Amino acid sequence: MRPDDANVAGNVHGGTILKMIEEAGAIISTRHCNSQNGERCVAALARVERTDFLSPMCIGEVAHVSAEITYTSKHSVEVQVHVMSENILTGTKKLTNKATLWYVPLSLKNVDKVLEVPPIVYSRQELEEEGRKRYEAQKLQRMETTWRNGDMVQPVANPEPNTVSYSQSSLIHLVGPSDCTLHGFVHGGVTMKLMDEVAGIVAARHCKTNIVTASVDAINFHDKIRKGCVVTISGRMTFTSNKSMEIEVLVDADPVVDNSQKRYRAASAFFTYVSLNQEGKPLPVPQLVPETEDEKKRFEDGKGRYVQMKAKRQGHTEPQP
């Protein structure tokens, strides 16, 4: 990890780690989907499940990223990725991330054609049953996110501190060849890195301290982003607890060279950040002041997600970050 991978405090950006995770997932799923004779394809990222940042990674450490295919349906692949950091001076290694990603194989000849996935062999029957349950659950959750697809982040003149409008931020990016796959569509990891950058700006504007990514709720990729599109990544604060901030990030794509297609929602997710002092200890977060009815509703929804996740952690269903 180099200085350009990290923030001013030396902590590696969450977006940098997410990009590495997606690259590992894309490699193993594309390799698997082309393991049998037939039409060639590239695996495209469809969804990333909730990812906790269990331990910070710093400049000078080496990242070890390993990926394993854990379930296949007819048209999708589940990949689980582990990230370890290594201090090469002391030899100390620690787990920093565990993530689950879902990919679909797209034909190289026709990008709109989803191919069938070669099945994997499970060592135990219950592993296939557990994978099928995860597959059905993520399908349902993806459908539940469609209601937000028309939502937009609008600028407000002269906002007050600690309000949603005060910290909301947007980034505009022109998609170039280096951002894209063989199909000419943006890598999922590139999109996630941009989303994390915007979420980090929102968190820093709200706290005015050093901030780090604590977790990412499920990232849903609603549609592909083609080379030459202009993407707008918008972020806004939705909820604050005593020591964490939830930020909603929306990605919209505008195919400026194609008049036949209108601007569309390409991806959405919730990021959670924490504020740290110079010693890396958590700081209290200034409380968000929702003003409009929509902001109050988003705050209550965010509070519900926070309470639910806190209950899961106390029940030891997920490791503590």
164-316 has the same fold as 3-141: yes
**pLDDT for 84 beyond 80:** yes
The total of other beta-carbon atoms located within 10 Å of residue 154's CB is: 8
pLDDT of residue 319: 43
Question: Number of C-alpha atoms within 13 angstroms, CB side, residue 296?
Answer: 3
**pLDDT for 309 beyond 90:** no
Q: What are the φ and ψ backbone dihedral angles of 306, each rounded to 5 degrees?
A: -65, -45
Residue 72 near residue 104, CB atoms below 8 Å = no
In DSSP notation, 162-187 reads TBHHHH-EEEEEE--GGGB-TTSBB-
Task: Please tell me the distance from the alpha carbon of residue 222 to that of residue 45, in angstroms, as a whole number.
Answer: 10
The active-site residue, picked from 196, 210, 217, 252, is 196
Span 226-248, pLDDT tens digits: 999 999 999 999 999 999 999 99
Per-residue pLDDT, averaged over 194-211, amounts to: 95
pLDDT of residue 320: 41
pLDDT of residue 310: 82
Span 5-20, pLDDT tens digits: 998 889 999 999 999 9
Range 3-141: architecture per CATH: Roll (3.10)
Task: Please tell me the distance from the alpha carbon of residue 163 to that of residue 259, in angstroms, as a whole number.
Answer: 37
**pLDDT for 259 beyond 80:** no
pLDDT of residue 128: 95
The active-site residue, picked from 7, 151, 162, 254, is 7
CA-wise closest residue to 140 among 81, 218, 216, 79: 218
Gap between the terminal Cα atoms of the chain: 21
pLDDT of residue 9: 85
User: Any catalytic annotation for residue 7?
Assistant: yes
Q: Where are the domains of the chain?
A: 3-141, 164-316
Span 148-177, pLDDT tens digits: 555 777 777 778 999 999 999 999 999 999
How many H-runs (helices) and E-runs (strands) does the chain carry?
5, 11
pLDDT of residue 315: 63
CATH class for the domain made up of 164-316? alpha beta
pLDDT of residue 150: 58
Per-residue pLDDT, averaged over 293-307, amounts to: 93
| Whole-structure pTM value | 0.88
Span 124-148, pLDDT tens digits: 999 999 999 999 998 887 776 654 5
Distances (CA, A) of 5 to 1, 36, 233: 6, 37, 20
User: Any catalytic annotation for residue 196?
Assistant: yes
